[in-house]
Structure 1
């Protein structure tokens, strides 16, 4: 058995633990389970960030060739995460505030926080500052689908709202209703 890190076809480097068959099953020993969950948490969030994937669904454990196939399966050892175990992993991500159920009132799909809302707020404000958008009203669409691709391209509206709320608490942004949806105005950072 080869317990070396493995680079996937997409270029992501899987940790050596991904080659251990028990890693793909929920462990009975609580200490072993905690270690395994820690590894799954880091693996899922780093892969999501690498591939810019925002959602993980229980169904992804059953989809061959999907966005998550490289992580949720290891064909070299003929193992995959079962949906029940992935559901448990998702619940742990939510419990640690590293994800939220989206849509709410269900437990089969999560919005991942591979950057926290606070981190997204800083990215958002830096983008607004560097592109000369301070004191300008922008629609959410203009941020999510900018003319020039940015770190914010494709960001889910739910994360964008949370990032704006973080900025609003420090008087660096203001939510504004606009004719075709939601908007925001950014302000310069105040000296503290």
Structure 2
């Protein structure tokens, strides 16, 4: 059974199975369930444009993640230790990074790979005619017209800029009130 929730997100049928919300003792079943959780988290994050997932979201009613971390119809929710293990697996697979660093309770979710974000950023700059223009990070994360980059976390934006910098398509510039970035034409 596929369930469509109030925000138009289609939950997979596994979301209605009580064992899905329980950490499985069998290693093979555990690995399969973890992979299904990771796919669900990434798909949902992309659908809702969510970047941060915290272990506390498993315990907090009304969180942005409640729709997938709970299933009231079967009276189940994922427990914090189980979610913590899933986040650890995501970090190990480079699908998330602990943010802030040096803790293990909150991750930045990569529903696009960092390299994909770099290309999204470069394509946006090109399409808006801002090559060779110095821009602030605020110009990118809060543009006049909403874009795929609206509200992107600064740490992820910096990673994307760094990736573009390695191919000589961006450079960080010191400006009066901090840092800016200039995007350069592709080298031919």
Task: Indicate the TM-score class for this superposition, using the shorter chain for normalisation.
Answer: over 0.9
Shift of 1:17: 0.5
Matched, 1:108 2:105: yes
Shift of 1:51: 0.3
Shift of 1:183: 1.1
Report which stretch shifted further, 34-43 or 171-180. 171-180
Instruction: Give the corresponding residue for 1:32.
Output: 29
Moved over 3 A (4+): none
Instruction: Give the corresponding residue for 1:126.
Output: 123
If the length of structure 1 is used for normalisation, what is the TM-score?
0.96
Matched, 1:50 2:47: yes
Alignment size in residue pairs: 188
If the length of structure 2 is used for normalisation, what is the TM-score?
0.98
* Structure 1: unaligned runs, 5 residues or longer: none
Instruction: Give the corresponding residue for 1:158.
Output: 155
Instruction: Give the corresponding residue for 2:79.
Output: 82
In 1, Cα distance between equivalents of 2:180 and 2:51: 22
Shift of 1:5: 1.3
Shift of 1:130: 0.5
In 2, Cα distance between equivalents of 1:188 and 1:174: 11
Query: 1:102-140 deviations in whole A, cap 9, x for unaligned?
Result: 111110000000011100000000011000100000010
Helix, strand or coil at the partner of 2:158: helix
Query: 1:4-43 deviations in whole A, cap 9, x for unaligned?
Result: 1111111100100001100001100000011001100000
Instruction: Give the corresponding residue for 1:73.
Output: 70
In 2, Cα distance between equivalents of 1:33 and 1:49: 24
Matched, 1:186 2:158: no
Helix, strand or coil at the partner of 1:76: helix
In 1, Cα distance between equivalents of 2:126 and 2:54: 35
Helix, strand or coil at the partner of 2:6: coil
Shift of 1:190: 2.2
In 1, Cα distance between equivalents of 2:126 and 2:95: 27
Instruction: Give the corresponding residue for 2:132.
Output: 135
> Pairwise CA RMSD of aligned residues?
0.7
In 2, Cα distance between equivalents of 1:102 and 1:181: 22
